[in-house]
Amino acid sequence: MENNKILYRGAEAEICYCHYNGNPAVQKRRVKKRYRIKEIDKKLISLRTKEEAKLIADSRRQGVSVPIIYDVDLKEGIITMEYLNGDRIKDILNNLSENKRNKICNMIGESIAKLHNGNIIHGDITTSNMILCNDGIHFIDFGLGEKNGETEAQGVDLHVLMEAINSTHSKYSDCFKYVIDGYSKKLKKDASQVLKKIDEIVKRGRYR
């Protein structure tokens, strides 16, 4: 794969393939916003880059598989990290055997619980932001993440995944049950409070 090839382009950042010390790597480059005052834009890019890098590092300390960070350039808003040579869960989940699919969903739930045990909110938990690599689930893109230990935030985090599964993997919507099984097993606090919060969020959507 050629250097600087853009793997993904979003509203907030570009993901580019590169090499770091001879190793395959990716760079997440935050996009400058021309509509913002230049000085404010620089500060926001630097702050968000720093926060995301810290969340990734904190997630690893919680035992969650994430890309290894090689370098952080706060001035340019670039995080250089490990290239994960695997498959997005979004692309493979529907084609797996039932046993394999349920096992992966259980692993996803366990990893989310580990994040929440460390008061880490991913902010965009979808199967697009998980990569199966070396038989492990790696979480990527913490750009919308934050440190927050509130049950409300944890419920919203899981609700995002529930909606993603219902949308992208509707034929296997029971997958979320296996996510919750893994989550409940690893969460240190009473998982029923978080599940109750998910129900509240669903009801809010219905009666909005």
DSSP 39-53: HHHHHHHHHHHHHHH
Q: At what angle do helices 98-117 and 175-186 cross, to 10 degrees?
A: 40
**Does 124 qualify as catalytic in the annotation?**
yes
Q: Which of 73, 124, 135, 199 is catalytic?
A: 124
Report CA-CA distances (Å) from 6 to 12, 16, 27, 128. Answer: 14, 4, 9, 17
**Residue 66 phi/psi, 5° resolution?**
-140, 165
DSSP E strands in the chain: the ranges are 6-9, 13-20, 23-30, 69-73, 78-82, 87-88, 120-121, 130-133, 136-139, 146-147
Return the active site residues. 124
